[in-house]
Amino acid sequence: MAQSRKDARGRVLHKGEVQRSSDGRYLYTYTDPLGKRRYIYANDLLSLREKEKKLIKDQLDGLDRYAAGRASVNDMFDRYISTKYNLRDNTRSGYIYMYDRFVREDFGKHKLIDIKYSDVLQYYFYLLNERNLALTTLDSIHCILHPTFQLAVRDDIIRKNPTDGVMAEVKKKTGMHRNIRHALTVEQQRAFMDYMANHPVYVHWWPIFTILLGTGCRIGEALGLRWQDLDFEKGIITIDHALVYYKSQESGDCRLRVSKPKTEAGIRTIPMLDVVREAFQILQDEEIENGPNLQEIDGYSGFIFQNHFGEVPNPGAVNRAIKRISDSYNAEEILDAKKEGRDPILLPNFSCHHLRHTFATRLCEAESNLKVIQSVMGHKNIETTMDIYAEATDRKKKESFNVLADKLDNVF
């Protein structure tokens, strides 16, 4: 039998109770509904146990409130997230961040049993129209709220899930392509890359953006690439992990962590284009001159990309670089176009994920086999591939008709 722990006066301590040797104070540790470790402190054991009793009563009151149907949506979400023991840290952090940012201080304060289908529908349209959320962001929120309400259904707190069918209704009324990330045109893509390649300050960004535009990798997948993931002889790139930058629930610090794909579709190989090979070779030469990236993240090392600190850059830094380069290009292009008496070719606001969409569009323009496109892109659902393919082919169709119109103008 395990020996019971005792305090300095020989009293047996209960589970979770500790007397600190440094100052003799007592503390009790427990886990809150979000899975975070919490502490209660007291100068003496009697006071500590009074606080423990109050904590247990508060927890039981919360359970009674839940069972009686007086719980809020916030109570339900906290209960739901506390049951997800197998979530990766970055996934849990993402769920809590999305909920706290968009739901907790507004919709989350309503009573669980009072929420109806129409309430959810109105709230979703409020997020779209008043807060200008993208449909993809709303879908992420829905993916949190739906299982939250479903847990209440299974616990017999409510009879039906009020979020059932809401997203289908929203998409029907707004259109499936609302807020879709549009690809750069060929002209814009060429302007962005040429400007960077010939700029004395921004030229060092050319390799990473060439790789993003030439592979269709998500930014986390690209930043997670190691030299051992490349096979120059066979000309392929293996994607089986990614780096994610998120706030730790334990420490509160933002850091990079290794994340495995959630589905088999995320594990794939990508053919290495010649221009992508050239970009990797430039990075190899830079590494020979400046030294390798020695950073280790969750047991992974040998990363290809590194900033001036010799560490993997975070995705935000890459997106900020896009902003700086685009703003600089647009400013110069407006002046050049005015001098030359032509319309400027301006770059829109875009991010790393737009570059992935741009690659997918170029791929769809060159390849008609949707399964091949889905495999290269690592799409879980063929519907995602079909949406991009439809947009790409629709633009090609318009271009073809414009060419045909010019030819017919010369005939009639």
Burial of 211 (0-12, 13-18, 19+ CB in 10 A): buried
Lowest mean pLDDT across 29-33, 206-210, 370-374:
29-33
Average pLDDT over residues 203-225: 94
Q: What's domain 73-174's superfamily in CATH?
A: Tyrosine recombinase, N-terminal domain (1.10.150.130)
pLDDT at 329: 96
What residues have CB less than 8 Å from 379, skipping those under 6 apart?
A: 265, 385
pLDDT at 87: 76
β 26-31/254-259 pair status: unpaired
What residues have CB less than 8 Å from 27, skipping those under 6 apart?
A: 17, 18, 20, 39, 40, 41, 42, 48
pLDDT at 377: 78
pLDDT at 403: 53
Sheet order of strands, 230-231 included: 230-231, 236-239, 268-271
Q: What is the tens place of the pLDDT at every residue in 8-23?
A: 888 999 988 999 988 8
Report residue 317 as tokens. Answer: 């830094």
Report residue 145 as tokens. Answer: 């709220």
β 17-19/26-31 pair status: antiparallel
Residue predicted with more confidence, 81 or 405: 81
- Residue whose structure tokens are 């970009």: 279
Its pTM stands at 0.62
pLDDT at 21: 87
Report percent pLDDT > 90 for the chain: 47
CATH 1.10.443.10 location in the chain: 186-405
pLDDT at 179: 47
pLDDT > 80? residue 369? no
Residue predicted with more confidence, 60 or 369: 369
pLDDT at 82: 84
Handedness of CA 207, 208, 209, 215 (dihedral sign): positive
pLDDT > 70? residue 41? yes
pLDDT at 109: 92
Lowest mean pLDDT across 62-66, 71-75, 119-123:
62-66
Measured between alpha carbons, how far is 77 from 176 in angstroms, rounded to an integer?
28
CATH of 186-405, one of 3.30.70.890, 1.10.3720.10, 1.25.40.10, 1.10.443.10: 1.10.443.10
- Residue whose structure tokens are 């284009």: 273
pLDDT > 60? residue 1? no
pLDDT at 252: 61
Measured between alpha carbons, how far is 93 from 83 in angstroms, rounded to an integer?
14
β 242-247/37-42 pair status: unpaired
Lowest mean pLDDT across 82-91, 174-183, 305-314, 364-373:
174-183
CATH 1.10.150.130 location in the chain: 73-174
Torsion angle, CA of 282/284/290/292, rounded to 10 degrees?
Answer: 150
Average pLDDT over residues 166-171: 89
Residue predicted with more confidence, 67 or 326: 326
Grade residue 177 by pLDDT with cuts at 50, 70 and 90.
very low
Residue predicted with more confidence, 128 or 380: 128
Residue predicted with more confidence, 412 or 144: 144
Ordered DSSP codes for 85-126:
TT--HHHHHHHHHHHHHHTTTTGGGSBGGG--HHHHHHHHHH
Averaged confidence pLDDT in the chain: 84
Report residue 148 as tokens. Answer: 């939250």
What residues have CB less than 8 Å from 256, skipping those under 6 apart?
A: 223, 243, 244, 245, 297, 312, 314
Contact 195, 329 (CB under 8 A): yes
Measured between alpha carbons, how far is 318 from 325 in angstroms, rounded to an integer?
11
Average pLDDT over residues 25-42: 78
Average pLDDT over residues 215-226: 93
Q: What is the tens place of the pLDDT at every residue in 375-406?
A: 777 777 666 667 665 666 666 656 655 655 56
Residue predicted with more confidence, 37 or 302: 302
Contact 131, 138 (CB under 8 A): no
pLDDT at 390: 66
β 236-239/242-247 pair status: unpaired
Amino acid at 136: T
pLDDT at 246: 72
pLDDT > 90? residue 277? yes
86-95, 124-133, 364-373 — which one is most confidently predicted on average? Answer: 124-133
pLDDT at 391: 67
Measured between alpha carbons, how far is 267 from 261 in angstroms, rounded to an integer?
7
